[in-house]
Amino acid sequence: MTTLLLYHAQRAAAPIGSAVRKRAAASLLTARDLTVRFGDFEALRSVSIDLDTRLIHAVIGPNGAGKTTLFNVISGFTKPTAGQVRLDGADVTAVSPNRLARLGLARSFQICSIFPNLSVADNIRTALALDVRGLQLLRGRSRRDETEARVRHLLDQGGLTDESERRAADLPYGRRRLLEIVTTIAIAPKFLLLDEPTAGLAREDIVPVAALIKTVAASCGVLLVEHNLQVVKSLAAKVTVLAEGSVLCEGSYDEVARDPRVINVYIGAERRA
């Protein structure tokens, strides 16, 4: 959680471009012709993707397809060999992860990451109190009141109100996953990247996590890597299928699920597994 929060600092007050004011429905996070090579291995090959605000966009594909590499490039952890990432019209390809977080791009990782010895509420307070200089306590009664109101709202949003004073380490895994997503959205990102948010969850825990993601998408764009195809089907307005580092196809879930290429390389194999 410490490393995660250091990258998830509060978003800068002013956007880095004017596109959002001119075209509210426009794609504000775009990747164009991304290629990533590690020696002779090509992890991504000319991958392009657009992420709209208030839309859930899923990326699916077999293991080794390049999904995590794509996430790493978009969130600034990996620099591409070629291609460009743009946020609000500005080139952010070479921007660091912490700077991207300040600009409104937040990422949750595949491995659940929180402060285990803090209470649920204090995990959220910590996320709210973080700025570009590190941990900084909000001062003044009005600020404290505003923060506590926000904490209560986020607890309610995540369905964690009854566990607010419980130590995070004592939560079941599914509840810890919910808490991690809540702390990530505490900074009110414009775009949220979620790497396999339902991985390792019991069936009964998937429903509240999926419901939270759907709620979050009402206020920001969500890019989702997810192997649970039922979750993808229920949440995603658009799906991009990767295979061997390239875009195989893109469309609605029903459209890509009918594509013979997708059935052959991914969905058919998933059903047989």
Which tens digits make up the pLDDT trace of 149-176? Answer: 999 999 999 999 999 999 999 999 999 9
pLDDT for 113 equals 73
What is the value of pTM for the model shown? 0.81
SS3 70: helix
What residue type is assigned to position 211 of the chain?
A
Lowest mean pLDDT among 142-146, 185-189, 235-239, 266-270: 266-270
> In this prediction, what percent of the chain has a pLDDT beyond 70?
82
Q: pLDDT band for 72, please (50, 70, 90 cuts).
A: very high
Other Cβ atoms less than 10 A from the Cβ of 258: the count is 12
Q: Residue 34: CA atoms inside 13 Å, Cβ hemisphere, count?
A: 31
The string of pLDDT tens digits covering residues 97-136 is 989 988 889 988 655 678 999 999 999 999 888 643 344 4
Contact 47, 241 (CB under 8 A): no
Cα–Cα–Cα angle for 204, 214, 240, rounded to 5 degrees: 100
pLDDT for 81 equals 98
Q: CA-to-CA distance for 197 and 107, rounded, in angstroms?
A: 11
pLDDT for 23 equals 37
Strands 221-225 and 238-243: unpaired
pLDDT at 25 over 60: no
Q: For the chain, give the mean pLDDT.
A: 84
Q: pLDDT band for 147, please (50, 70, 90 cuts).
A: confident
The string of pLDDT tens digits covering residues 195-237 is 999 998 998 999 999 999 999 999 899 999 999 999 999 999 9
Q: CA-to-CA distance for 188 and 140, rounded, in angstroms?
A: 22
Contact 73, 31 (CB under 8 A): yes
pLDDT at 141 over 90: no
Other Cβ atoms less than 10 A from the Cβ of 39: the count is 5
pLDDT at 42 over 60: yes
pLDDT for 176 equals 93
Beta bridge partners of residue 192, listed in sequence order: 106, 222
pLDDT for 145 equals 79
Q: CA-to-CA distance for 220 and 188, rounded, in angstroms?
A: 8
pLDDT for 140 equals 58
DSSP H or E run through 99 = helix 97-102
Q: pLDDT band for 182, please (50, 70, 90 cuts).
A: very high
pLDDT for 110 equals 52
pLDDT for 18 equals 37
DSSP category for residue 36: E
Q: pLDDT band for 52, please (50, 70, 90 cuts).
A: confident
Q: CA-to-CA distance for 8 and 98, rounded, in angstroms?
A: 6
Characterize 136-152 residue by residue with b for buried, 16 or more Cβ atoms within 10 angstroms of its Cβ, and e for exposed: eeeeeeeeeeebeebbe
